[in-house]
Amino acid sequence: MRNITGRLLLLVGLIVALTGGLAFGVTHGLATSHALAAGAQSRAAAVTDTSTATATATTTATSTTTATSTATATATHTPTATATSTATIVPTTTVTPTSTSTPAPGSPTTDYFAEGYTGLAATNGRATFVEVLNILNPSQNNPATVTITYYIQGSATPVTVTRTINAKTVLRESVNTDVGNDKIVAAIVRSNQRVYSTRTMTRVSPTGGRLDGSATLPVTAPGTSWGFPEGYTGVTFQQYLTVLNPSATQANVHILLAPQAATDAGARTLNFTVPALSRVTENIRVLNQGNNAQSVGMLITSDQPIVPERVLYFGNGAGSGKFGSTVSRGINTPSTTLSFAYGSSGGATNTATGLNSVGNQDFITLLNPSLTTASTVAVSFYNVAGQQLGQTVSKTLAPGTRQTVIANTVLGTSAVNVFSVRLNATSPIEAEAAQYFHGSPNIGDHPGVDYPGQFSATTHAFLSDLATKSADGAIVNRDIYLYNPGAVAVSVAATYFGTSGNTDTATYTIPAGGVFDVDVDSDTQTSIPPGAVGAELTASSGSFIAFGLGLTNDNLSALEDVGIPAY
């Protein structure tokens, strides 16, 4: 069910602006009172996991792990969990993610995906996974030749398929068909010209009930350092890290579990290897057992370029059968300014201990990748008309630590269906937004999405997964939230692509500092049937940030897509 249309959002925002805004309660001290990672307010109900990995809080705790994948398949290697009096990581000065190279316009494409699973509930006892790659060829005239190389965990032989994607077309490629069922798999997508891709995984329970799915952007190059601000290893969440090593040399990987704390003293570190041309899975929840810090980000370094992704399952169930799911790529572009085009708060209720989030819940996690320099971050929220909501919140991040801002408690008791967020930091940081719908991620059947803060706006962007019908047949209510960080209204022209070469077009006006909600289902109904959809967005002047959100008709699965600047 769609919350509200773009035009109604704009009208509401203008009314708020004209009446001087709404009164919002602001609470600064509550972030430390809940068990914060992944934005949770309580961590209840123990989880039984199939992994045998263990880690203790002793100075050097070594364990031989059978690392569980996102279901029950295993990858064997030997990680070492270490808790030290002060955080140590190599290099010892700072963990600053390396920039990845960006191909010149029109040059070939290479996209990397570390995570992937085609498991069946009949085999793993948890869930059946349907995995697809959505690949958009926006060329007006030229078909694209695409080669997909799959690296299957536990196999030394990659699987390769080649496809031709016609101009102005989205291909929905079935990974289950390409590699078979019950495979743990990474993928590299290569093309002779510019294409844009995402990976989508949907799930159903052993009884056929819908579970939350995930959608993830690729990285365009492997790197030697990465950051993940979000993460929680308490009993209501199950966290994994999947790592693809696309090089011909074994990678030695080091992780600092950046605590949500005043300092990084005692931060746990993990070390493991990834064989050449392969992927492995680490069970971070198990490896962090016994650690006082359960709300942890990850700072990852490697002696070879790698591609990591973080997998989170949450809510009812166990392991990869938990109801909720998000899968996120690593961040390697820290910045002093970051923005989120979308967030949603269901409000909060007053309790004896403070405000308690209800309904839609949004959590902004902030990570300081430097091990030497603190960063103070100003976090500000704005309505769809560009008017500030509440007061700016300030968070200080010690070197190698993370903090969380709970949007619901900042914005107060009233619901705010759509807002944007701006971050300004004294030194470069990384940030993610964890957005949950209809309730807490700790309990029940509440879907969620997770997406990184954007360090710049763009004049030209692509989204390759705006599907209005999922690969498993579910109808998806799809929106694009267009955020304008500038002081003047911006006009954006959209071209939508389907699977047959047909297109639809529309034009939108984003108010200064505001957000416009695009109803993709409505704007593609003329020429594009329900199914795979991609989009090209172009601003005639000014710049914007685009965030795509899809909720299935039954409100049980949420999928995101972030606009990729044209390159």
Q: Superfamily for 109-216?
A: TM1070-like (2.60.290.11)
Neighbours of 540 (CB within 10 A): 10
Q: Which residues contact 447 (CB under 8 A, 6 or more apart)?
A: 212, 213, 323, 324, 325, 436, 437, 438, 551, 555, 556, 557, 558
Distance of CA 372 to the CA centre of its chain: 27
Give the span between the Cα atoms of 228 and 337, in whole angstroms. 17
* Per-residue H/E/C for 332-401: CCCEEEEEEEEEEECCEEEECCEEEECCCEEEEEEECCECCCCEEEEEEEECCCCCEEEEEEEEEECCCC
Q: 12 phi and psi, to 5 degrees? A: -60, -45
Write the DSSP assignment of 97-160 as a string of letters: PPPPP-PPTTS-EEEEE---B---HHHHSS-EEEEEEEEEE--SS--EEEEEEEEETT-SS-EE
Query: Positive or negative CA dihedral for 383, 389, 392, 397?
Result: negative
SS3 call for 39? helix
pLDDT of the residue at 34: 31
Distance of CA 521 to the CA centre of its chain: 23
Buried b (16+ CB within 10 A) or exposed e, 212-240: bbbbbbbbebbbbbbbbbbbbbbbbbbbb
Judge whether 38 and 231 are in contact, CB under 8 Å: yes
Question: Could you give the count of Cα atoms lying within 13 Å of 284 in the half-sphere of its Cβ?
Answer: 34
Q: 554 phi and psi, to 5 degrees? A: -85, 0
Two structure tokens written together for 556: 């049980």
Judge whether 479 and 548 are in contact, CB under 8 Å: yes
What burial class does residue 466 get, using C-beta atoms within 10 Å of its C-beta: 0-12 exposed, 13-18 middle, 19+ buried? buried
Give the span between the Cα atoms of 369 and 93, in whole angstroms. 10
The class that CATH gives domain 6-21+457-565 is: mainly beta
Two structure tokens written together for 61: 């705790």
Give the span between the Cα atoms of 392 and 404, in whole angstroms. 14
Q: Helix, strand, coil: what percent of the chain each, to 5?
A: 10, 50, 45
Judge whether 363 and 504 are in contact, CB under 8 Å: no
pLDDT of the residue at 64: 34
pLDDT, one tens digit per residue, over 146-198 is 999 999 999 989 999 999 999 999 999 999 999 999 999 999 999 999 999 99
- Closest residue by Cα to residue 115 from 382, 329, 394, 396: 329
Q: 380 phi and psi, to 5 degrees? A: -125, 140
Q: Where are the domains of the chain?
A: 6-21+457-565, 109-216
pLDDT of the residue at 106: 65
What is the reported pTM? 0.85
Strand partners, 102: none
Judge whether 167 and 175 are in contact, CB under 8 Å: no
Give the span between the Cα atoms of 342 and 9, in whole angstroms. 13
Distance of CA 279 to the CA centre of its chain: 20
Q: Which residues contact 471 (CB under 8 A, 6 or more apart)?
A: 130, 132, 172, 174, 200, 202
List the chain pLDDT tens, one digit each, 567 residues.
Answer: 444 344 344 433 433 343 333 333 332 223 333 333 343 433 233 333 333 333 333 333 333 333 333 333 333 344 445 444 333 333 333 333 333 334 444 689 999 999 999 999 999 999 999 999 999 999 999 999 999 999 999 998 999 999 999 999 999 999 999 999 999 999 999 999 999 999 999 999 999 999 999 999 999 999 999 999 999 999 999 999 999 999 999 999 999 999 999 999 989 999 999 999 999 999 999 999 999 999 999 999 999 999 999 999 999 999 999 999 999 999 999 999 999 999 999 999 999 988 999 999 999 999 999 999 999 999 999 999 999 999 999 999 999 999 999 999 999 999 999 999 999 999 999 999 999 999 999 999 999 999 999 999 999 999 999 999 999 999 999 999 999 999 999 999 999 999 999 999 999 999 999 999 999 999 999 999 999 999 999 999 999 999 999 999 999 999 999 999 998
pLDDT of the residue at 266: 87
Give the span between the Cα atoms of 358 and 145, in whole angstroms. 48
Is it true that 6-21+457-565 and 109-216 share their CATH fold? Answer: yes
* Per-residue H/E/C for 42-89: CCCCCCCCCCCCCCCCCCEEECCEEEECCCCCEEEECCEEEECCCCCC
